[in-house]
Amino acid sequence: MENMPALRVRRQRRIGAVLAGLVVLTLTSCAGAAGPNNVAGTATSHTAGFWAGLWHGLILPITFVVSLFTDSVSIYDVHNNGGWYNFGFVLGIFIPVAIFRPRWRSTKRRSARSH
């Protein structure tokens, strides 16, 4: 019975790893690809606003990795409306940090208390 907490921790880590893998797989399928709205030289009337910036900020880690291996994927929509797109983009970058930060901090405290 002494190993029950250790088994529970291992089970939670496995579940977390599976969920993280599913999130990465889902976000990878949604990464922005080059199109008429993502190429700087293309004349278009489309402008990306706040919501597009938010989405591009959320998928930034996946899009950045993909952009290292191909020229057809860009991390930033060049046809944007300026400040609102930028605000959404930065907000999208920090949302995952804000969601997962308390968990990182509490894990540190718990491990320090147990030693």
Domain count, the chain: 1
* 38, part of any domain: yes
* 23, part of any domain: no
* 99, part of any domain: yes
Average pLDDT over the chain, rounded to whole? 75
Q: What is the SS3 assignment for 43? A: coil
- 59 lies in which domain range? 31-114
* 49, part of any domain: yes
Neighbours of 89 (CB within 10 A): 23
Across the strands, what pairs with 48? 80
* 2, part of any domain: no
- Rounded to two decimals, what is the model's pTM? 0.54
pLDDT tens profile 20-52: 777 766 666 555 544 554 444 455 667 888 888
